[in-house]
């Protein structure tokens, strides 16, 4: 007797070709749900509708189509178990050899702007996952395919093995099927938890990390660490949707640095003027705003040209020829920008090893960040607090001019993206000294000042956390710094303010801290 395949697919890609091969090459009979049967019949293929096969019509507008003992009995029966065989015979049920299902497009639906809850719920597939899970459970006897990308592999296995597939192949398909339904349910649960309106909605009770391998990376932070890049969601977003115009494969460290660069450059919206950032090991070594993108990049590069070698560059506006020429003057690992002109692409093509990426959504990142610890993981809301200088407190006798306030805001936006303890010294919307990741704050001040040299005269200084003592203020003043921005909140704030007044400095307290660990 011919073998039986059940086909019920939402995405009809490759369906007809698969079904033709099943019927013509492997003598399958086809049973399909309404829309799938229609597509197959329109292609001239013999197909039995599920409703004819079960004798039960599709009801509730398609909510119940394949949920029937004649379908699920045929999928779940153990061929080697006499009791199961008797049940099949007694109930006139034929076993299935193949189940091909893909699910209602839930994720694509919720990705659409302004989708309503009832619209989303309508796209929660019930019968499909039931078929997939049943077939995957019984993979000892049948195959399950849940994505069109699997069809060719299935057919080639059948062709190579005289119309059979190996138990290993069926098992691999079952594993993919369970990952698939798990990710599907995860997307539903995540969406529904977003609908809960309490203030903790972004950090729900349960958090499941779900992603599929986008790319096996050559290695992790170091060559002895295996690493993989996982993509969340079925539609590529963020870096998974970026276009790489040239250059070698992205590495683990490239991606970590690129994400740090993206977060930083997102502080500077393109419409507020050109900005450029050069990063090394996630810390900015040079950041600048300029009248043009080329000027911003030159300023950022010159801020610390030694560290910029081998750096990651993020630009907030499309790259044109002048900026491209400037970018070719040193060795850079990666450049990311929202766009790049054809002329600029031609210039950058000279740098064969440079990875050039286009990411139009530079300011769109994850709402939460997650980090693994022994026995669990930590999740927090991303530090995307929008600075509002009208909330700042000017605590010294000397008050900042509008120009100094602008420089303070610039340094403050940058220091947020430097590993703690962090100090940024800035001048004319350019960083001139960065002290990153120090174990004491005055140490970070000294490193930043050392780099700034005599350029510290008249500069501004930003500190990501408060000053526990007045030593940082005194050190900065001695080097010529004229204005300081910091969160405040130390029990000894008064000491720092007093020192600032004594030394003729301006001090601004933001009330917001930006530690980055
Ligand atoms: N309700 C059911 O019994 C049921 N059985 C299969 N489906 C889904 O219906 C879709 C195919 O429907 P159609 O063949 O009518 O185009 C597939 O995405 C499949 O996963 C169902 N739909 C939803 O739950």
* Residue 281 among the catalytic residues: yes
Give the number of other CB atoms < 10 A from CB of residue 230.
12
72 lines ligand 1 (CB under 6 A): no
Backbone angles phi, psi at 235, to 5 degrees: -95, 130
Residue 410 has pLDDT above 80, yes or no: yes
Residue nearest to atom 20 of ligand 1 (CA): 128
Q: How far apart are CA 198 and CA 192, in angstroms?
A: 13
Q: List, in sequence order, every beta strand (DSSP E) within 374-446.
A: 376-381, 393-394, 423-427, 430-435
Residue 507 has pLDDT above 80, yes or no: yes
Top mutation candidate among 30, 41, 109, 125 for ligand 1, by most atoms within 8 Å of CB:
125
The pLDDT, as a whole number, for residue 197 is 56
Residue 59 Cα to ligand 1 midpoint, Å, equals 11
Residue nearest to atom 4 of ligand 1 (CA): 127
* Ligand 1: nearest atom to the Cα of 62: 1
pLDDT category at 206 given cuts 50, 70, 90 is: confident
The fraction of the chain above a pLDDT of 70, given in percent, is 99
pLDDT category at 126 given cuts 50, 70, 90 is: very high
The pLDDT, as a whole number, for residue 198 is 57
238 lines ligand 1 (CB under 6 A): no
Residue nearest to atom 15 of ligand 1 (CA): 35
Report the candidate in 319, 395, 390, 384 with the shortest Cα–Cα distance to residue 357: 319
Give the number of other CB atoms < 10 A from CB of residue 289.
21
Q: How far apart are CA 74 and CA 115, in angstroms?
A: 37
Residue 71 Cα to ligand 1 midpoint, Å, equals 13
Residue 302 Cα to ligand 1 midpoint, Å, equals 60
Residue 94 Cα to ligand 1 midpoint, Å, equals 20
Residue 200 has pLDDT above 60, yes or no: no
Residues 103/184, Cβ–Cβ less than 8 Å: yes
Distance between first and last Cα of the chain: 66
Pick the catalytic residue: 12, 244, 281, 498?
A: 281
Q: How far apart are CA 25 and CA 164, in angstroms?
A: 12
49 lines ligand 1 (CB under 6 A): no
Report the candidate in 324, 356, 340, 329 with the shortest Cα–Cα distance to residue 258: 356
Average of pLDDT values for 167-175? 96
pLDDT digits (tens, 9 = 90+) for 31-42: 999 999 999 999
65 lines ligand 1 (CB under 6 A): yes
Residue 171 Cα to ligand 1 midpoint, Å, equals 24
Residue 13 Cα to ligand 1 midpoint, Å, equals 15
Residue 90 Cα to ligand 1 midpoint, Å, equals 27
Least confident range of 60-74, 137-151, 161-175, 181-195: 181-195
39 lines ligand 1 (CB under 6 A): no
pLDDT category at 201 given cuts 50, 70, 90 is: low
pLDDT category at 112 given cuts 50, 70, 90 is: confident
Higher pLDDT, 423 or 235: 423
* Residue 72 among the catalytic residues: no
36 lines ligand 1 (CB under 6 A): yes
Residues 146/177, Cβ–Cβ less than 8 Å: yes
Give the number of other CB atoms < 10 A from CB of residue 124.
19
pLDDT digits (tens, 9 = 90+) for 380-408: 999 988 788 999 999 999 999 999 999 99
pLDDT digits (tens, 9 = 90+) for 437-471: 999 999 999 999 999 999 999 999 999 999 999 99
Residue 184 has pLDDT above 60, yes or no: yes
pLDDT category at 190 given cuts 50, 70, 90 is: confident
The label of the residue with tokens 């307290």 reads 509
Residue 196 has pLDDT above 80, yes or no: no
Residue nearest to atom 16 of ligand 1 (CA): 35
DSSP state letter for 439: S
Residues 429/286, Cβ–Cβ less than 8 Å: no
Query: Token pair of 492, please?
Result: 């000894």
54 lines ligand 1 (CB under 6 A): no
63 lines ligand 1 (CB under 6 A): yes
Burial of 215 (0-12, 13-18, 19+ CB in 10 A): middle
104 lines ligand 1 (CB under 6 A): yes
Q: How far apart are CA 27 and CA 162, in angstroms?
A: 12
Residue 469 Cα to ligand 1 midpoint, Å, equals 67
Q: How far apart are CA 164 and CA 154, in angstroms?
A: 10
Pick the catalytic residue: 137, 244, 248, 398?
A: 137
Residue 111 has pLDDT above 90, yes or no: no
CA atoms within 13 A on the CB side of 424: 32
DSSP one-letter string for 222-265:
STTS-EEEEE-SSS--GGGG-EEEESSPPPHHHHHHHHHHHHHH
The chain-wide mean pLDDT, for the chain, equals 94
The pLDDT, as a whole number, for residue 27 is 94
| Complex confidence, ipTM | 0.82
Top mutation candidate among 127, 148, 181 for ligand 1, by most atoms within 8 Å of CB:
127
Top mutation candidate among 31, 33, 41, 53 for ligand 1, by most atoms within 8 Å of CB:
33
Residues 476/378, Cβ–Cβ less than 8 Å: no
User: What's the pTM?
Assistant: 0.78
Higher pLDDT, 195 or 157: 157
Q: Which domains does the chain have, with CATH numbers?
A: 3-195 (3.40.50.1380), 240-358 (3.40.140.20), 389-509 (3.40.140.20)
Q: How far apart are CA 294 and CA 344, in angstroms?
A: 12
The pLDDT, as a whole number, for residue 297 is 98
The pLDDT, as a whole number, for residue 309 is 97
């Amino acid at each position: 007797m011919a073998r039986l395949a059940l086909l019920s697919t939402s995405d009809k890609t490759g369906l007809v070709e698969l079904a033709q091969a099943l019927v013509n090459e492997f003598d399958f009979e086809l049973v399909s749900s309404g829309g799938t049967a229609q597509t197959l019949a329109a292609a001239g293929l013999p197909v039995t509708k599920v409703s004819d096969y079960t004798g039960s019509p599709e009801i509730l507008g398609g909510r119940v189509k394949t949920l029937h003992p004649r379908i699920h009995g045929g999928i779940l029966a153990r061929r080697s178990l006499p009791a199961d065989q008797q049940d099949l015979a007694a109930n006139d049920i034929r076993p299935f050899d193949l189940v091909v299902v893909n699910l209602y497009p839930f994720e694509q639906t919720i990705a659409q702007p302004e989708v309503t809850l009832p619209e989303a719920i309508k796209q929660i597939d019930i019968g499909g996952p039931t078929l997939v899970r049943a077939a995957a459970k019984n993979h000892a006897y049948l195959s399950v395919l849940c994505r069109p990308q699997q069809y060719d592999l299935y057919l080639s296995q059948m062709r190579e093995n005289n119309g059979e597939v190996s138990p290993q192949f069926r098992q691999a398909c079952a594993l993919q099927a369970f990952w698939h339904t798990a990710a599907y349910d995860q997307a539903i649960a995540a969406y529904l938890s977003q609908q809960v309106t309490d203030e903790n909605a972004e950090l729900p009770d349960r958090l499941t990390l779900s992603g599929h391998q986008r790319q096996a990376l050559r290695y992790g932070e170091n060559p002895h660490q295996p690493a993989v890049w996982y993509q969340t969601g079925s539609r590529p977003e963020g870096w998974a949707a970026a276009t790489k115009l040239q250059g070698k494969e992205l590495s683990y460290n490239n991606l970590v640095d690129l994400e740090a660069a993206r977060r930083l450059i997102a502080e500077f919206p393109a419409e507020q003027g050109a900005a450029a950032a050069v990063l090394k090991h996630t810390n900015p070594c040079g950041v600048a705003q300029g009248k043009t993108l080329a000027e911003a990049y030159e300023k950022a590069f010159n801020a610390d040209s030694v560290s910029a070698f081998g750096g990651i560059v993020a630009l907030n506006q499309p790259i044109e020829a002048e900026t491209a020429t400037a970018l070719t003057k040193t060795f850079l690992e990666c450049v990311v920008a929202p766009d790049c002109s054809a002329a600029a692409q031609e210039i950058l093509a000279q740098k064969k090893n440079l990875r050039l990426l286009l990411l139009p959504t530079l300011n769109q990142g994850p709402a939460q960040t997650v980090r693994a610890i022994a026995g669990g993981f930590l999740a927090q809301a991303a530090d995307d607090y929008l600075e509002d200088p009208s909330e700042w407190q000017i605590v010294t006798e000397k008050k900042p001019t509008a120009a100094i306030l602008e420089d303070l805001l610039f340094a403050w936006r940058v220091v947020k993206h430097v590993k703690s303890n962090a100090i940024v010294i800035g001048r004319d919307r350019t960083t001139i000294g960065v002290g990153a990741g120090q174990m004491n704050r005055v140490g970070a001040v000294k490193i930043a000042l050392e780099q700034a040299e005599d350029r510290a005269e008249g500069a501004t200084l930003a500190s990501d956390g408060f000053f526990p003592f007045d030593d940082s203020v005194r050190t900065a003043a001695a080097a010529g710094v004229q204005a300081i921005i910091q969160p405040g909140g130390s029990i000894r704030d008064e000491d720092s303010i007093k020192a600032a007044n004594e030394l003729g400095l301006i001090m601004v307290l933001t009330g917001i801290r930006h530690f980055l660990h």
